[in-house]
Amino acid sequence: MPVNHFDAMVFTKRNDIVVDGWESLKPLSVLMRIGSKYAEFGIQGPYVRKLPSYEEVFQTLNNSRFDVAVSTRIIGTQEIKRLGLKDVLMIEPPLQSYELFHFLHRKHENLVPDIEFVLKNMARQGEIKKILQRYSDELNL
């Protein structure tokens, strides 16, 4: 059972970018953070540049001729606000949405039924939604 999800989004200073999945980024120069596996699997090529931090990704997008940056909706929105980037836009729709699942090491597999029971109850009672909403509210998203 997924406990959360995230959206892979495109950020740009250009107003002519149309997003239609990962393939739509192929002709563009793309920035991403090193280690963002969803982005590395989504787009590769000679016009992709990987940087060590999201701050560097968004500052480089803001100050250079790169076409787009790929980040999650939450992190991208946070970085735009934190860095005060007035010209960087988030483009809808998402490139892709990913479900996130709770992970346990194999040596704890005996706990899976109990954890799944609790997570299902939390979902049914709206507790997971409340936690995510509280987090979103704290970030002013």
> What angle, rounded to 10 degrees, do the helices at 54-63 and 73-83 form?
60
pTM: 0.86
Query: 2-98 is classed in which CATH architecture?
Result: 3-Layer(aba) Sandwich (3.40)
Q: Which residues contact 65 (CB under 8 A, 6 or more apart)?
A: 29
Asked if residue 139 has pLDDT above 80, the reply is no
Q: What angle do CA 93, 40, 25 make, to 5 degrees?
A: 45
Domain-wise residue ranges, the chain: 2-98, 102-141
Residue 9: both structure tokens together: 């989004």
| pLDDT tens-digit readout, 50-107 | 999 999 999 999 998 899 999 999 999 999 999 999 999 999 999 999 998 888 999 9
| pLDDT tens-digit readout, 20-59 | 999 999 999 999 999 999 999 999 888 999 999 999 999 9
Which of 93-97, 106-110, 115-119, 137-141 has the lowest average pLDDT? 137-141
